[in-house]
């Protein structure tokens, strides 16, 4: 077996933002000559789309020799599009990057630029958040947002069902599912058509059932033989048996349109959704008036699992960042440092669509829910990177596919573990 997982940190440390502040690079000497940077990102909606456009415009104003060709690509298709483009002779200069095993696979193929030296000052500013974008100790990308997955919920629907406080254990969550059903409220929405939302459940159960050292070793060795991984599947199987999801959830997309799982939350047709830190930004344009739900939307951490060997306050998540393709001009890495300077990260923090990573930018997050989420992220013992990102691309995809099969009633806890072993054997 050839192990392609070489990422320097499958687990993002809890001390995420411990470095000193700084301004980020903007040296014109690094960007001599007329260049056009092609930039692919997944911000198809406002306000993030406009924010990226404004940062590019500001960079061009300071560096007249650099212009941008920006292409927003829908989240569910951008990963495939990037994979194809990196195999071509004309990849984008800047492209969306989630780190972990996907990045390690791209690096092994020689498609991603080593930006260690060019971004050293910036990496110092963002501290441990940068680790998930390293391979063999070298920097191949930079995150602009790192967050965690949890349950976003409608406080008005909880109140209607007589639920006074968010659940902290799985027993309490299961009891709340019963209460919501009794009041004619759909408990939980999930976008199983896209598969990756399903994987959040198994991933969190694994984080609750397995110790940190077990998760680290398994992610590196690609051996999910510890009994805790089987137990995670059994936890998921038991939860699915409570039938918490909307009718037709297997055909529901996660984020596209009012009929998506995010749309069901936006329009009060479901009470909860297990989603990432970006959820409030996705929900807003899907509401009837395209405005924030305000205090009708809140968040709680994934509940504790009785008897689990995992660290109780461990979290599960990851982040969004960018890489430069191997032939991108020096302006690419320089722009990434500019994007991550304190001023731009503060502006990003005000958008309420993610959690900034540059030291000194925390104060910009004003939304009460996101501030609470940020606190939990910073206090977590560690943040387990999404398994489909921590693992090599093919192995992570096999895991997601088998978890999706369980949601469809066509798999078992043992088959999920076997899917990882089978995919790893082909590496």
DSSP 188: B
Q: What is the mean pLDDT of residues 193-209?
A: 97
C-alpha–C-alpha distance, residues 58 and 426, integer Å: 46
- Over residues 356-369, the mean pLDDT reads 90
Q: What is the CATH number of domain 11-148+317-373?
A: 3.40.190.10
Confidence band, pLDDT 50/70/90 cuts, at residue 32: low
- Alpha-carbon distance of 272 to 155, in angstroms, equals 9
> What is the model's pLDDT at position 21?
32
The mean pLDDT of the chain is: 90
Domain ranges of the chain: 11-148+317-373, 150-315+389-425
List helix spans (H) across 28-169. 48-62, 75-86, 100-108, 120-126, 155-160
Give the containing element (helix H, strand E) for 44: none
Please report how many Cα atoms fall inside a 13 Å half-sphere around the Cα of residue 190, on the Cβ side: 24
The model's pLDDT over 227-279, given as tens digits with 9 standing for 90+, comes to 999 999 999 999 999 999 999 999 999 999 999 999 999 999 999 999 998 89
pLDDT of residue 28: 35
Query: For residue 76, what pLDDT is reported?
Result: 81
Residue 100 falls in which region: left (phi positive, over 0), alpha (psi -120 to 50) or beta: left
Give residues with Cβ within 8 angstroms of 253, minimum separation 6. Answer: 76, 191, 193, 194, 259, 260, 261
Render pLDDT for 128-177 as a digit per residue (tens, 0 to 9).
788 889 988 899 999 999 999 999 999 999 999 999 999 999 999 999 99
Q: Which structure tokens are listed for 375?
A: 């606190």
Q: How far is CA 126 from CA 22, 31, 43, 351, 366, in A?
A: 10, 23, 22, 19, 20
**Nearest by Cα to 98 from 278, 319, 354:** 319
pLDDT tens profile 388-404: 989 988 999 999 999 99
Contact 203, 235 (CB under 8 A): no
Q: In this structure, which CATH number among 3.40.190.10, 3.40.50.850, 3.40.50.11810, 1.10.3720.10 belongs to the domain 150-315+389-425?
A: 3.40.190.10
Give tens-digit pLDDT for 80-93.
Answer: 999 999 999 999 99
Return d(Cα 172, Cα 243) in angstroms, integer.
15
- Output the pLDDT for position 23: 38
pLDDT at 365 over 60: yes
**50-85 confidence digits (pLDDT tens):** 999 999 999 999 999 999 999 999 988 998 999 999
Q: Does the fold of domain 150-315+389-425 match that of domain 11-148+317-373?
A: yes
pLDDT at position 291 is: 85
Torsion sign over Cα 157, 317, 276, 259? negative
Q: What is the pLDDT of residues 6-22, one digit of tens each?
A: 333 333 333 333 333 33
pTM of the predicted model, to two decimals? 0.78
Give the residue among 91, 95, 108, 110 at the shortest CA–CA distance from 52: 95
- Give the integer Cα–Cα distance in Å for 34 and 229: 53
* pLDDT at residue 142 in the model: 96
């Amino acid at each position: 077996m050839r192990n392609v997982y070489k990422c320097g940190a499958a687990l993002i440390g809890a001390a995420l933002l411990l470095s000193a502040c700084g301004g980020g690079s903007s040296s014109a000497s690094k960007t001599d000559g007329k260049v056009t940077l092609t930039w692919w990102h997944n911000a198809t909606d406002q306000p993030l789309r406009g924010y990226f456009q404004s940062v590019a415009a500001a960079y061009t104003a300071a560096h007249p020799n650099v212009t941008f060709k920006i292409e927003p690509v829908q989240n569910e298709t951008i990963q495939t599009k990037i994979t194809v483009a990196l195999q071509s002779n004309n990849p984008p200069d800047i492209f969306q990057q989630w780190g972990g095993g996907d990045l390690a696979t791209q690096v092994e193929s020689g498609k991603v630029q080593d930006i260690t030296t060019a971004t050293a000052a910036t990496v110092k500013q963002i501290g441990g958040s940068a680790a998930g974008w390293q391979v063999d100790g070298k920097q191949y990308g930079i995150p602009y947002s790192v967050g965690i997955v949890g349950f976003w919920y409608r406080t008005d629907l909880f109140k209607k069902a007589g639920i006074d406080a968010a659940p902290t254990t799985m027993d309490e969550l299961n009891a709340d599912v019963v209460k919501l059903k009794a009041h004619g409220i759909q408990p939980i929405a999930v976008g199983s058509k896209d598969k990756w939302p399903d994987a959040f459940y198994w991933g969190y159960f694994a984080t609750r059932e397995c110790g940190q050292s077990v998760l680290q070793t398994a992610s590196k060795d690609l051996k999910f033989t510890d009994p805790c991984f089987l137990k995670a599947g059994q936890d998921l199987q038991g939860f699915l048996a409570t039938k918490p999801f909307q009718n037709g959830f297997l055909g529901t997309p996660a984020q596209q349109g009012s009929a998506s799982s995010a749309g069901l939350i936006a329009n009060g047709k479901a009470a909860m959704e297990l989603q990432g830190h970006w959820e409030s930004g996705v929900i807003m344009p899907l509401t009837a008036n395209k405005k924030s739900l305000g205090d009708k939307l809140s968040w709680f951490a994934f509940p504790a699992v009785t008897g689990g060997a995992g660290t109780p306050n461990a979290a599960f998540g990851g982040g969004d960042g960018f890489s430069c393709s191997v032939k991108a001009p020096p302006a690419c890495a320089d722009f990434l440092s500019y994007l991550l300077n304190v001023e731009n990260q503060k502006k990003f923090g005000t958008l309420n669509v993610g959690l900034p990573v540059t030291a000194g930018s925390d104060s910009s997050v004003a939304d009460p829910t996101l501030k609470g989420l940020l606190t939990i992220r910073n206090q977590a013992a560690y943040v387990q990177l999404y398994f489909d990102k921590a693992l090599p691309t093919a192995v992570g995809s096999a895991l997601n596919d088998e978890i999706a099969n369980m949601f469809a009633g066509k798999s078992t806890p043992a088959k999920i573990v076997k899917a990882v072993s089978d995919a790893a054997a082909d590496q």
